[in-house]
Amino acid sequence: MTMLPQEIIRRKRNGERLEAADITGFVRGLSDGSISEGQVAAFAMAIWFSGMSRDETVALTLAMRDSGETLDWSSIGRPIVDKHSTGGVGDNVSLMLAPIVAACGLAVPMISGRGLGHTGGTLDKLESIPGYDIQPSAALFRKTVDEVGCAIIGQTANLAPADKRLYAIRDVTATVDSVPLITASILSKKLAAGLQSLVLDVKLGNGSFMGDAGEAEALARSLVDVANGAGVRTSALLTDMNEPLADAAGNALEIRNCVAFLKGEKSGTRLETVVMAFAAEMLVAAGVAVDPVAGEALARTALANGAALERFARMVYALGGPADFVERPEQHLAPAPVILPVEAERDGYLQSCRTRDLGMAVIALGGGRTHPNDRIDHRVGFAELKPLGTRVAEDEPIAFVHAADETAAEHARQELLALYTIADAQPEVRSPILSRIT
């Protein structure tokens, strides 16, 4: 007997456990429109208040995965892997990670997103590259993954369409921050992409969506448990987002940063630590490396011998970008009209950064959206950001503003100065990798 939508809502509102068949039926109605927007909103709010068990969240995730197309990569003959980040500032890990592990023999069909709130979006960054197609045909996507080993593109309309409707309703009903709903939203799209293994970057700190350590760990645990329950080998790293991860924040600036990284110019940075840790996780999960030490050694070889840079160049060209992009990025990435140094106002150590506000400052420069249809200025942002713990002298630049005009540049300069605290004592510098969850 089919249960009425309002009965499913009532049971979840009252804290009862739902059967997988009830959840599947509700998601089917969500997809075909037979369940009203009001009922979907009530269902989301009931979950927000009452939560879901692991088995319920697995059922919700699988039902949303199966609401549309699922990809099959069995013909490729290489391990199918991916990575997802909960979002941060200067977090361009995916851009380097995908070609590094592709050069080590993995296949990475990476479905990425646009900027959300204060966080930058991988797709917005890639659209800095002239001609790069974030929505290629299914045939071109498959051909690129097969021949290059990686392709970073946007979600297609046929991939987990139930999530698209549910997310839109969550966004306007204050139910975005529900761990079961976040888990199902992220994983339904990743599972629809046909993955065999997945690594998750769950951010913690003042530049993340999860500022509380307990909340971040609960989300990471939910994602890992549900993904493994759905048959995809998954682990998560909790990483620090109390300062920008790269030394650049802004779309074209982070693409420049990516090319420099793949050329070996960012060794010893927090960014390198995070990229290598995730490369090692992916290679171990795929069975290519026996342990993280061996995985990192493989990744470092692919970076040092130029194989990872070559994969990135081939991916860009395959998806419509310039053939000589990595040789001449400056010719293809439009520069900002105004570049202004942000000079320290006193001697001392960079002690803290209001990272979320730095992300918002990039948006204020035009590097992100305040409305869904806003056009992005890919040229703007901050570059050469010095890491926390750095000793600076008065009038020494701690960063450079890239802006569309003098007024915007000066405003951003003053704002950035206010976001950093300079102190006499050197702060403790800790690893950006906080913990691992399996």
- Residues known to be catalytic: 82-85, 122, 170, 185, 189-190
The Cα-based distances of 363 to 16, 31, 270 in angstroms read 43, 33, 24
> Which two structure tokens, joined as six digits, stand for 101?
């592990």
Tell me, what amino acid is at 147? E
**Residue 394 three-state SS:** coil
Query: Cα dihedral sign for 366, 367, 371, 374?
Result: positive
Distance of CA 118 to the CA centre of its chain: 12
CA 270/CA 389 separation, integer angstroms: 12
CA 195/CA 158 separation, integer angstroms: 17
CA 359/CA 387 separation, integer angstroms: 16
DSSP 270-312: HHHHHHHHHHHHHHHHTTSSSSHHHHHHHHHHHHHTSHHHHHH
Give 155-160 contacts, CB < 8 A, sequence gap 24+: 155/111, 155/113, 155/189, 156/69, 158/68, 158/69, 159/68, 159/69, 159/71, 159/111, 159/189, 159/192, 159/193, 160/64, 160/65, 160/67, 160/68, 160/188, 160/189, 160/192
List helix spans (H) across 213-269: 213-229, 251-262
E runs forming strands in 168-222: 197-204
Helix 37-50 × helix 179-192 angle, to 10°:
120
CA 245/CA 307 separation, integer angstroms: 24
Largest CA distance in the chain: 74
CA 415/CA 217 separation, integer angstroms: 32
Q: Which of 209, 239, 250 is nearest to 92 (CA)?
A: 250
CA 281/CA 292 separation, integer angstroms: 6
- The helix (H) or strand (E) run that includes residue 9 is helix 5-13
